[in-house]
Amino acid sequence: EEDKADLIIDIPQNFEKDLLRDSQSKIMISANAINGQTAGLAVSYSNTIIREFNNEIRTEWIQQPRLNSQPVIEITSSNWFNPRMNYKYFIVPGVLALLVTLVGFILTSLNIVKEKETGTIEQLNVSPIKKYQFILGKLIPFWILGMVVLIIGFAVSFVIYGIFPQGSFLIGFSFAGIYLIAILGFGLLTSTFAETQQQAMFIAYFFMMIFVLLGGLFAPIENMPDWAKYLTYINPVSYLIEVMRMIVLKGSGFADLAKHFGIITMFAVVLNVLAILNYKKTT
């Protein structure tokens, strides 16, 4: 539950004594099955190791004539958070995070650039509005659009896949709201650097590839090389994907996600401040 282990092998007290007395004992295997593929491999390897151990002690006991029955180790498996190890439960929350990112990042990356290409940016530059007011005006519509996309995504995942969040909708939407502020700020920052929509698209797609590949959407971050793991710390998408899975599958509360809230809030503040400072408003 605290993400400190992906698999736990519970060997009960008096394991050896029960095996000697009754020729039978039980071992409990509990796996974090949020990623069903990883959990399946971990349980399979554990079962193989235990079976090999069982065969070894059987060979030793056969040589002892006073012991007639062969020892048996009974294995009981428990898959937490995703009992059927359905891969859809792992991938759908990540896809929801990806949709929100696409709407928030790609569209805002093109926003200010379009104003430059059409020439309306000059009218905005001579208007009495402040820089932060201009950025807010660009941010709010796409923030609302991103939240609407997330609501539709949750509805579709429930209707089609039967996936319903185990945790609080309020916490999920609160985190997504802060995340959208961060990713919209990054999109606006990108837009201030580009002069044409083509440049903005190239920059946006470059970062989107990095966000997706290093966000843990298709493969667990734990399986990545060390250099990639370090990059995930500065990848805001990885935090949204992880939070979505924790809320949808584990039912995590605010106490479990406090660190994620702090980090994504820092992203939101830094990226939007940079976007405001980098937007050059001439009079």
Residue 172, burial from CB neighbour count under 10 angstroms (0-12, 13-18, 19+): buried
Q: Cα separation of 197 and 64, whole Å?
A: 81
Cα dihedral 223/79/31/40 (nearest 10): -50
What are the C-alpha distances in Å from 64 to residues 59, 73, 144, 176, 256? 9, 19, 74, 64, 53
The pLDDT tens digits for 144-153 are: 999 999 999 9
Examine the pLDDT at 1 and tell me if it is beyond 80.
no
Long-range contacts of 207-210 (CB under 8 A, 24+ apart): 207/105, 208/101, 208/102, 208/105, 208/106, 210/235
The pLDDT tens digits for 42-89 are: 788 888 888 888 777 777 665 555 554 555 777 777 777 776 777 788
What are the tokens at 115? 């104003």
- Helix 169-193 with 254-278: angle, nearest 10 deg: 20
Residue 62 CB neighbour total at 10 angstroms: 11
The pLDDT tens digits for 248-276 are: 888 888 988 999 999 999 999 999 999 88
> Closest Cα to residue 150, out of 185, 115, 117, 174?
174
pTM equals 0.79
Q: Cα separation of 110 and 117, whole Å?
A: 10
Confidence of residue 113 (pLDDT cuts 50, 70, 90): confident
Residue 93, burial from CB neighbour count under 10 angstroms (0-12, 13-18, 19+): buried
The H or E element spanning position 30 is strand 24-32
**Cβ contact 70:116 at 8 Å:** no
